[in-house]
Amino acid sequence: MSKRNKLEKFADLLEFPNVFESFQFKSTKLTRTPTEELEMAGQWNATQFLNSNPIVLELACGRGEYTLELARRYPQNNFLGVDIKGARIWKGASIAKAEGLQNVAFLRSRIEQLELFFNPGEVSQIWIIFPDPFKKDSQINRRLTSPIFLEKYRRILSSDGFVHLKTDSDLLYEYSLETINNQPGVELLHFNEDIYAGDLPHRDLDILTYYEKQHLEDGRTIKYLKFRLR
């Protein structure tokens, strides 16, 4: 992707009514279109979706393939894809706009700042699809199932909310299992180290992203965890 192409996409994002961007570290303010700077915690349904439906997040959403397909399947829910990469979000936001998906929006921000943009209990589910496993020991705290992130999820999830993890990484899967089992107030609801070896443990695991198709062609097994934060 050329630098010019990226710059054009970044400019487009500023005009998209379904994209919110964080430009200031630790600020609760988000930009939507060049003229709007909004405080969205507790306001997603009132300001963006114009309904009271449950909110579902996809973290590190990339091009938003999972976000988009879930939104198509469940029009009774609202979906937000979260990623820091603007060129990736541009793809998902463009498709949502072209298809007229009113229950989809995208948040361009670092996931470390997630709790700035949601009130306690505002989110009903979180999907984490093929995140970076951060293989080095020095990067453990950057894994999206590390205790640091689990506490962030706990603050924004509803009392009956839960988290899904889908990964091809043995390292991340084993690390997540160990963390969940050792972290107070975290309840493991399901785990499966090869989801395609039998019946799918969750019906929406049949959504295949670009990267999962590559992983399957390489013969990798796909793993799944579902857990709740009390």
Catalytic residue among 12, 83, 132, 160: 132
- Rounded to 5 degrees, φ, ψ at 29 are -85, 140
- In angstroms, the CA 218 to CA 212 distance is 10
* Helix pair angle (3-15, 86-99), 10° resolution: 50
- In angstroms, the CA 157 to CA 170 distance is 27
- In angstroms, the CA 140 to CA 26 distance is 22
- Rounded to 5 degrees, φ, ψ at 124 are -95, -30
- Rounded to 5 degrees, φ, ψ at 95 are -65, -45
Half-sphere exposure of 18 (CA within 13 A, CB side): 26
- Does the annotation mark 194 as catalytic? no
Hey, which residues are catalytic here?
Answer: 132
